[in-house]
Amino acid sequence: MTGSPPPQLLIFGKGYTATHLANRLRKEGWGISATGSQARPCVLALDDPAIPDLIDRATHILSSTPPVGDTDPVLDLYEHQLSRRNLWTGYLSSTGVYGDRQGAWVDETAEIGTGRRTARSVADQRWQDLHGRVCIFRLPGIYGPGRSALDRLRQGDAQRIDAGGQVFSRVHVTDIANAVRAAMQRRAVGVYNISDDLPAPGEQVLAYAAGLLGMDPPPLVPLEKAQLSPMARGFYSENRRVANGRMKRDLLQRLHYPDYRVGLAAILAEEKA
């Protein structure tokens, strides 16, 4: 007697985070198809003629494709077909949809669309409205192996910005993959903030990472004197702490990396292993 066919995940936008999830699921026997940058192996262009058939064969859908300009390119192309399939569908959104909260805590009931991420807020809502089996994951700053304060310090381009008490939340990529996997298993729907337990100023994180590396931390630079792109300067215009209580109740009772200290130390230990 043959078993059931393996589940099939179609990923729109196989970037850093989605690749970590795909690698885990592939080890569990999942079939993975993906769109993404043509620089990455085994991915298709978003408008590849094979995509409609892959949507029809998928058991799960995940989009990590950000808006382009003021619209969502995945929904522009495939919204009707995706809505008809009515599969469990995940969308990797951003906590940037909450805008500036002057350092206050925000949960999933907070209003969105008031900040600089207007297009992301519109896309977030479009995915929520797709059908009744959509799970929205709102992500803060993402870090992990090859993409952390440790790497920026080694590259020599890290700036410690004194932003007058600005804090932000972050999450290790492994905990995102764990949360999405748990949502798939539980068929969770609705909106979830996926973040760790310790929002902190970026300059504090860089100082801790420098200590791990045995380096002197970069000097503190006042925000008004920092050499920043308009996008980076816009980031420092928003100040909020992201609450993760719903995630812990429904998806992950315990984070693998509950704060940046644990996460950065683990990355360094893995590098030395």
Q: Are 149 and 206 in contact (CB under 8 A)?
A: yes
Q: Please compute the mean of the pLDDT values over residues 11-35 and round it to a whole number.
A: 97
| Predicted pLDDT at 235 | 86
> Above 90 in pLDDT, residue 244?
yes
Q: Which CATH superfamily is domain 8-272 in?
A: NAD(P)-binding Rossmann-like Domain (3.40.50.720)
> Above 70 in pLDDT, residue 183?
yes
CA–CA separation, 263 and 178 (whole Å)? 15
pLDDT tens, position by position, 47-88: 999 999 999 999 999 999 999 999 999 999 999 999 999 999
pLDDT band at 1, cuts 50/70/90?
A: very low
pLDDT band at 190, cuts 50/70/90?
A: very high
Average pLDDT over the chain reads 94
CA nearest neighbour of 262 among 135, 102, 144: 144
pLDDT tens, position by position, 129-174: 999 999 999 999 999 999 999 999 999 989 999 998 899 999 999 9
> Above 70 in pLDDT, residue 40?
no
Q: Please compute the mean of the pLDDT values over residues 110-122 and round it to a whole number.
A: 89
Tokens standing for residue 262: 């644990």
